[in-house]
Amino acid sequence: MSNEIAVNWQQDRAFAPSPEFVANANANDPDIYTRANADPQAWWESWAEQLDWIQKWDTVLEWNAPHSKWFVGGKLNVSANCVDRHALGVRRDKRAIVWEGEPGDQRILTFGELHTEVQKFANVLKGLGVEKGERVVLYMPMIPEAAIAMLACTRIGAVHSIVFGGFSAESLKERTNDCGAKVILTADGYWRRGNIVPLKATTDEAVEGCPTVEKVVVLNRLGDKISITMQEGRDIWWGDLVAQASAECTPEPMDSEDPLFILYTSGSTGKPKGILHTTSGYLTGTMATSKLVFDLQEDDLYWCSADVGWVTGHSYVVYGPLANGATIFMYEGSPDWGTEGKGGARDRFWEMIERHKITILYTAPTLIRACMKWGEEHPNSHDLSSLRLLGSVGEPINPEAWLWYHENIGKGRCPIVDTWWQTETGAIMITPLPGIVTTKPGSATRPFPGIQADIVDEKGNSLPDGQKGILVIRQPWPSMLRTLWGNDERYQQVYWSKFEGIYFPGDGAVRDADGNFWLLGRVDDIMLVAGHNISTMEMESTLVEHPAVAEAAVIGKAHDVKGQAPVAFVIIREHLAPAPGDTAGAQKLRDELKKWVGEKLGAICRPDDVILSADLPKTRSGKIMRRLLRDVAEGRVLGDTTTLADPVVVASLKEKYSSEEN
Ligand code: ATP
Ligand code: MG
């Protein structure tokens, strides 16, 4: 990509870890990078050695690009590594899961209790005729049984495919049919913002069109709050099955490369892809990254707020932390719902952190920006002194949002790990190691030890520091996807055809003189305005720097003269938003924002249109769907909207666009 324009963030703002943090950190020797990168296979092998193996591997890596096999010849079981070795050792009475429901109900499971529950449910699955290699769909709330069911699948070698509990019947049907599941695990429903989400009713609708599904297991979450119908012969109560199940189930010896799970991507850029992960490489990668990136210590209460329906919930709610014997916190509901059930409680996260004394929080920029919009008073009314480390994942975090997180949540004390990775990569790829790396707001900093990331031009040539380009990963890594389920051709085409033998994640990036990576958003979203490459991230971060702006999404709209013209959709912080009907105030603010961007990034970047919006179209995992904004701006019929969180948002934006276009 030529014709650089300057990245306008203050790249000199830097935060070194405190001496106290460094002293106790799991990784505090910068040499770790040199050692790992000198011999990545030996590095990964040193992590695999920390797992419990039934049979050790013969070969670390077989690489026939683009197909990799790791720890070939080895046998192990994931549930034995995440549960048994802790339950049968000193962590038997240690808390494994601390859970809170949206209405405030709570449960705690020790490793010993989790061990029993996982074995019972593994026997339930066996009793339903589920065999090694067969697929089980989970369509579940964020409750301990979701983790129990995942681990139970791994215990018997069944391949789980989790469908986020907020998805529609159509999405559930599509994913269930794509992976050919035999059993669906669900619940009657769950709580979300004080409302009931009727999972069972949605499952009934989906299963009509799912010929492979034989049984539906239904957990009783809501009791008499909901009435559901059970279909004779197909639907069975979870509790009834567990009550009859034996509490002993020997873990199935799984081959290193046996499939572990299938997970469909978020669908930000198009139709979701069925990512396949396998056993030992995935577990090695998630265990190593959890330990070093989150600096997990024996007495931590670690909270990753992602739903188990996303990869973050797989790798960093369940597998990575539990492989390390850490205590995980899980929460069922919405961040703006109070325990009193009165609604509008925008301090729920901070209230729970204070009450449970949570020490590590890993969340998404979308949540941080929502909190910025709501105002500082919510976190400020709680004691957050238990926190010692913060994380971010899912989208680039704007420097301004990073600083807000650092000051208002971390109180200037907690290192922030901005972690770049994907469903496909299985584990974190670019991230600070909090006891070593000096962080810069907006940069994910350095490739994890053993990961060979680079930035290249369209032809695949490495670019010098400071030049914007395409992020690539040059060498295979243990937790990489193995293929797309049932579609190896698409696997090769999507990830390996742009540059032969080199992994193409689809994101843009630039590296600074200190070797830090700055993610610039999707390659497809980079605009070409009058011959200049402008990333959505640069423009959005500049808008968020304006005191009135909480969140921004920028897209390039086709333009006769410039090729593309930038269009900005912005959300204003609540206390600074023009009153409804104040058209003059809104116009003034729009003009001011255009001028702001023009002054900060150059006239070329000045947006043609600024739309003040109450909300932005997002995936159900909270990512901005810029392709739909492009459709809105260019007056097209909307593309695939099945992963959209709230269809009303785009509909109202379409209306607003024609009235505010200027
Ligand atoms: P699809 O591939 O179906 O369009 P998706 O890419 O949103 O969906 P995920 O695998 O959930 O699906 O998301 C991975 C993407 O999220 C990355 O490719 C990147 O664009 C973005 N991302 C995740 N974490 C970060 C981060 N820390 N910084 C910048 N971008 C991030
Ligand atoms: Mg993707």
- Which stretches within 52-143 are classed as H helix? 78-79, 85-87, 111-127
pLDDT band at 1 (very low <50, low <70, confident <90, very high): very low
Range with the largest mean pLDDT of 56-65, 603-612, 618-627: 56-65
Asked if pLDDT for residue 291 goes beyond 80, the answer is yes
Query: Given the DSSP bridges, would you call strands 215-219 and 235-237 parallel, antiparallel or unpaired?
Result: parallel
Is the shortest distance between the CB of 269 and ligand 1 below 6 Å? yes
Find out whether 401 and 624 touch, Cβ atoms under 8 Å. no
Residue 45 has pLDDT above 90, yes or no: yes
Instruction: Give the pLDDT of residue 658.
Output: 74
The H or E element that residue 329 is part of is strand 327-331
Q: What is the mean predicted confidence (pLDDT) over 258-271?
A: 93
* Ligand 1 pocket mutation pick from 164, 266, 429, 471 by most atoms within 8 angstroms of CB: 266
Give the position of tokens 């600024």: 610
Q: What's the mean per-residue pLDDT of the chain?
A: 94
Range list of H helices, 273-429: 279-293, 311-313, 320-323, 348-356, 365-374, 377-380, 399-404
pLDDT at 235: 98
Closest residue by Cα to residue 88 from 62, 61, 116: 116
Burial class from Cβ neighbours inside 10 Å (0-12, 13-18, 19+) for residue 292 reads buried
Average pLDDT over residues 308-319: 98
For ligand 1, atom 12: residue with the closest CA? 266
The finding on whether 394 has its CB within 6 A of some atom of ligand 1 is yes
pLDDT for the residue numbered 2? 42
Ligand 1 close to Cβ of residue 432 (< 6 A): no
H or E stretch covering 541? helix 536-545
Confidence of residue 9 (pLDDT cuts 50, 70, 90): low
pLDDT of residue 662: 44
Give me the mean pLDDT over the 123-148 stretch. Answer: 98
> What is the structure's pLDDT at 306?
97
- Nearest CA, atom 18, ligand 1: 422
3-state secondary structure of 266: coil
Alpha carbon nearest to ligand 1 atom 26, residue = 420
Taking the centre of ligand 1 as the mean of its atom positions, its distance from the CA of residue 183, in whole angstroms, is 29
pTM higher than 0.85 for the full model?
yes
pLDDT single digits (tens) 161-219:
999 999 999 999 999 999 999 999 999 999 999 999 999 999 999 999 999 999 999 99
Q: How large is the average pLDDT for residues 599-609?
A: 91
- Both tokens assigned to 320: 């990575």
Cα separation of 550 and 412, whole Å? 20
The torsion of the CA quartet 239, 241, 243, 247, rounded to 10 degrees, works out to: -120
Q: Residue 3 pLDDT > 60, yes or no? A: no
Contact status, residue 319 vs residue 82, Cβ threshold 8 Å: yes
Residue 307 has pLDDT above 70, yes or no: yes
Closest among 286, 243, 240, 237 to 261, alpha carbons compared:
286
- Ligand 1 pocket residue status of 395, Cβ below 6 Å: yes
Strands 67-72 and 59-64: antiparallel
Q: How far is the CA of 270 from the centre of ligand 2 (A)?
A: 9
Task: Quote the CA–CA distance of 431 and 507 in Å, as a whole number.
Answer: 15
Mean pLDDT, to the nearest integer, of 127-150? 98
Q: Out of 266-270, 288-292, 317-321, 328-332, which region has the weakest mean confidence (pLDDT)? A: 266-270
Closest to 284 (Cα-Cα) out of 30, 43, 28, 35: 43
**Is residue 535 lining ligand 1, measured as CB closer than 6 Å?**
no
For residue 343, the model assigns a pLDDT of 53
Tokens matching residue 74: 């080895």
- Give 424 Cα–ligand 1 centroid separation in angstroms: 9
Does any ligand 1 atom lie closer than 6 A to the CB of residue 141? no
pLDDT at 661: 52
> Is 280's C-beta closer than 6 angstroms to any atom of ligand 1?
no
Residues paired with 55 in a beta bridge = 75
**Of the ligands numbered here, which is closest to the C-alpha atom of 525?**
1
* Protein residue closest via CA to atom 21 of ligand 1: 395
Distance 132 CA to ligand 1 centre (A): 31
| Confidence grade of residue 365 (pLDDT, cut at 50, 70, 90) | very high
